[in-house]
Homo-oligomer: A and B are copies of this chain.
Amino acid sequence: MVVVGREALGLLSPFTLAQVGRLGRAGTRSDCSSACLTLSLALFNESTSPAHPPSPPRLLFISYKLLQLTAALYCFVKRTYVAKVGVALVGVGLVGKEVVRLLLSPSLRQVFDIVLLSNSKHAVLLESNVQLDADALLSLLPPSSSPLPPSSPQATYLPADPDHLVDLLAERSRATSQHIILVDCTSSELIASLYPRTISSSLSVVTPNKRAFSSSASLYDDVQSSLRRPDAGLCYYEATCGAGLPVLTTVRDLVATGDEVVKVEAVLSGTLSYLFNQYSTVEPPKERMRFSELVWDAWKNGHTEPHPADDLSGRDVARKLTILARLAPPSSANLPDGYASAETQSLVPPNLTDVTDPAAFVDGLAAHDEEFERLRREAEGEGKVLRYVGLLDRSTGTIKCGLEKFAHSHPFASLSGSYLSLAIYTRRYSSSPLVIQGPGYPLSVTAGAVVADTIRVAERYGAKVGL
């Protein structure tokens, strides 16, 4: 089409072209429309000068010529002027806020437009091209506990309503001719269940929310089939597996280029990595802490989920392993209930499973220190250390998460801090794996991965970001 475009543009007078170019580059949508109109009229006048009123057969010819010329115009304006991509951000917690800050950095605010912010109670729909910095923009959304303020010309306030969210965004996208990405920074199953409809409505999804990719096969399959529709949006979710580490992008590239994942060994939980890297070490530490003390410290210092049982249950690791396993066919059929179908060892003592108060839970752990100590000593006796890992082995059909013993020479033995580490064996990386590792903690790395995915979508919709 670009070629037709170039040839057709050759037919136009330089004056008309310059005029359109100027209008296109001026950069607002109405400039763009008026550029279209101007060129269309100019073309039409060139094709049908008043001296030669067209006869009907000639009209058909003009119609075809106009078709070519308009396609040319479309390509020309599209190259010169690419509309900003809209971002609707649901879940304005720590990661969400950082995503807004990154998207409104000087280089990215040329590319993105925040069109909606929403927490669990309220939503604010923003006019395009609102010129506010990140903090001012974030302050437009009241906390869920506050009442909804009255709308202004820039900001329309609505109660948050997941049922209508997709329709609202699809309508906005239609009205403004702008592609919109739903950036879901919640961990809500409800929002995740909206992805298939979102994608089918020609909107894209970017998210660190693991639910849609690690829960039931039916939701996952719905997302996949929505992506296969000809007018589908896109869906990226790098930050669901390994914080900011380039895990899914890498596995996806390998699989897309004909490689096959054979085996994955992975330390996937920053919190469990942090705990066991201190608890079970190659060199004996000066002072040995009890397991419950370590959990208590980690919890106090915010290195665990609000309720540490959420880390110790291994569910988070199972979810990440499920996401990986599904990316690497042909195993999706093995996980009908998602992470719940993966064999997962919970470190939550049976008598504490129902303790909802985190402080009471951590207290209760002390009674189980001996069990953990026995496991640690057993590993030590074999010259090994304990690590909580996810394992995927296609040859044996294994998909499991749990405590494993590793020899001191194994790379997992020398991990420190909250390091995540993945060893990916494929047909190409057969005897020596591809290894990706890095800290799983700072929120900025997760937010960075979300924004990198958002850029990926924008690029596939024609934006140029960096080079």
A→B interface (CB under 8 Å)? 1-4, 6-7, 36-37, 40-41, 43-44, 48, 50, 53-54, 56, 59-60, 63-64, 66-67, 70-71, 73-74, 78-80, 102, 105, 107-108, 173-177, 179, 202, 224, 227-228, 230-231, 235, 244-246, 249-250, 252-259, 409, 411, 414, 416-417, 419, 428-429, 431-439, 442, 444-445, 448-449, 451-452, 455, 459-460, 464-467
Contacts of A259 in B (CB 8 A): 444, 448
Instruction: Name the B residues within 8 Å of A6 (CB-CB).
Output: 174
Q: Quickly give the copy total for this chain.
A: 2
B445/A417 in contact, CB under 8 A = no
Q: Which 8 A-B pairs have the closest CB atoms?
A: A253-B452, A434-B438, A44-B63, A70-B70, A3-B174, A257-B451, A40-B67, A432-B439
B230 and A79: CB pair below 8 A?
Answer: yes
Show 20 A/B contacts (Cβ-Cβ < 8 Å), sorted by A: A1-B177, A2-B231, A40-B63, A40-B64, A41-B64, A43-B63, A44-B59, A44-B60, A63-B66, A67-B73, A70-B74, A80-B230, A252-B466, A255-B466, A256-B455, A256-B466, A257-B451, A419-B432, A435-B436, A435-B437
Chain B CB count within 10 A is highest, among A48, A63, A448, for A63
Q: Pick the residue among B43, B173, B249, B439 that contacts A246 (CB under 8 A).
A: B249
Q: Which chain B positions have C-beta within 8 A of A436? A: 246, 435-436
| Complexed CA–CA distance, A221 and B64 (Å) | 42
Given A67-B73, A254-B448, 12 new contacts (CB under 8 A): A3-B173, A4-B177, A80-B230, A227-B464, A244-B429, A255-B466, A257-B452, A416-B432, A428-B448, A432-B438, A433-B438, A434-B437
Q: Is the CB of A448 within 8 A of B253?
A: yes
In the complex, are the beta carbons of B78 and A434 less than 8 A apart? no
A179: nearest residue on chain B (CB-CB)? B2
- A40 neighbours in B (Cβ, 8 Å): 63-64, 66-67
Chain B residues with Cβ below 8 Å from A414 are: 409, 411
User: Could you tell me if B432 and A74 are in contact, using CB atoms closer than 8 angstroms?
Assistant: no
**Distance between Cα atoms of A311 and B177 in the complex (Å):** 54
Set B79, B235, B249, B444: member contacting A231, Cβ < 8 A:
B79
With A44-B60, A54-B59, A74-B74: A102-B257 Cβ-Cβ less than 8 Å: yes
Neighbour of A445 across the interface among B252, B429, B465, CB < 8 A: B429
Tell me, in angstroms, the Cα distance from A141 to B233 when the chains sit together: 40
Nearest chain B residue, comparing its CB with the CB of A54? B59
Tell me the complex Cα distance, A78–B444, Å: 38
Q: Is the CB of A432 within 8 A of B417?
A: yes
Contacts of A235 in B (CB 8 A): 467
Determine the distance from Cα of A105 to Cα of B2 in the docked complex, in whole angstroms: 28
Q: Do the beta carbons of A429 and B438 come within 8 Å of each other?
A: yes
CB atoms of A48 and B59 under 8 A apart = yes
Provide the residues of chain B in CB contact with A230, threshold 8 Å: 79-80
Asked if A175 contacts B64 (CB within 8 A), the reply is no
Q: Which residues of B contact A59 (CB under 8 A)?
A: 44, 48, 54
Closest to A99 in B: B257
Bound-state Cα–Cα, A182 to B105, Å:
34
- Using Cβ atoms and an 8 Å threshold, which residues of chain B touch A54? 59
Are A467 and B224 CB-contacts (below 8 A) given A2-B177, A41-B63, A66-B63? yes
A409 to B413, CA, bound (A): 12
Q: Is the CB of A256 within 8 A of B452?
A: yes
B256 near A246 with CB under 8 A, answer no
Q: Which residues of B contact A429 (CB under 8 A)?
A: 244, 438-439, 445
